Every structure is written in C-alpha cells, then in structure tokens.
Amino acid sequence: MALKWYTIVVDCRDPQAQASWWAEALDWEIVYDTPDEAVAVPRHALEGEERAPDLDTWIRRGQGLVFVPVPEGKQVKNRLHIDLAPHVSQDRDAEIQRLLDLGATRIDVGQDEAEVTWTVLADPEGNEFCVLSSRDQ
C-alpha cells in the first residue's frame, strides 16, 4: 500500500497573491480560494470526471499547492523547496526571465554559479525554488 503525495502547504502572508503567482508561474489553476486557504492545481487535474474512477487515475492526477496565512514573514532559508524543470524543447533562459518578470528574484544560497546546472530564485514572499537544466524525463 502507498499513500499519495497530495499537496505541499506553503505558509505565507498573502495566500491569494501567492496562489495567483504560482498558478501563473506554473500555468495552473486556482480551484479553491477563501481567506484561510488558496489552492492551485495543474490544469490536467481538472480534466475528466470530478472524482477519479480508480486508484491509478487518482494517483496520476498530481499534486497541488495550498497557501495558508501566517502572521510572520519568512525568516530563514527553506528546509524544503520546489525544483522546476523546463522541457528540452523550451528555452530555459526565457523561462527564467519569465519568472523574473512575474516577480521572482535571483538569490544566493551558497551555490557556485559556474559549477551548478540550476538557478536559485525566490517567489514574491522569498520562498526559494530552483530552475533545473532542461529535461525530457
């Protein structure tokens, strides 16, 4: 038996702004939005039946991001972060620029830019994430 990795929950000052930013960055959709929680999921998770007819279909639907309010701002480097990867058919530098244009910032967490194959960015509330080299798997 296995459990499904269902969501990642992100503490933030402004759940609606964070959900909107990540939905735009990932081309996802916001499916739930209240003052206490905003949820973004991949668009393909909304295709087909509302309920998955079987375990395999349910497992393949993928994860979502849940944003919940907290009173404090981010204090230290994340202990967990998201890695994003463009497909080999995409222009990685253009994708990084698109994220920067949306409001991401480049940050230094000690990486040696000359030796690594990823770029470290932060979302508008300072949560670190990486853009990896292009992948086909």
Tens-place pLDDT, residues 56-114: 877 777 789 999 999 998 888 888 999 999 999 999 999 999 999 999 999 988 888 88
Check if the beta carbon of residue 96 is closer than 8 Å to that of residue 43: no
Residues 55 and 100 placed together within one structural domain of the fold: no
Bridge partners, 33 (sequence order): 38
State which of 21, 41, 69 marks the end of a domain: 69
Full domain range(s) for residue 41: 7-69
Please determine, for residue 28, whether its predicted confidence score (pLDDT) is greater than 60. yes
User: Is residue 137, in this structure, part of any structural domain at all?
Assistant: no
Of 69, 102, 117, the one marking the end of a domain is 69
Q: How many domains does the chain have?
A: 2
Q: What CATH number has the domain bearing residue 63? A: 3.30.720
Residues 16 and 47 in one domain: yes
pLDDT of residue 123: 97
19: nearest Cα among 130, 127, 111: 127
User: Which amino acid belongs to residue 92?
Assistant: R
Residue at 76 is within a domain: no
- Among the three residues 42, 69, 96, which one is the final residue of a domain in this structure? 69
- What are 130's two structure tokens? 């990486």
Residue 1 covered by a domain: no
Which has more confidence, 50 or 81?
81
Residue 2 scores a pLDDT above 90: no
pTM above 0.95, yes or no: no
pLDDT of residue 17: 97
Residue pair 48/39 in contact by the 8 Å Cβ criterion: no
Query: Under a CB-based contact definition with an 8 Å cutoff, are residues 52 and 29 in contact?
Result: no
At 57, give phi and psi (nearest 5°). Answer: -65, -45
Contacts within 8 Å (CB) and 24+ apart, 48-55: none
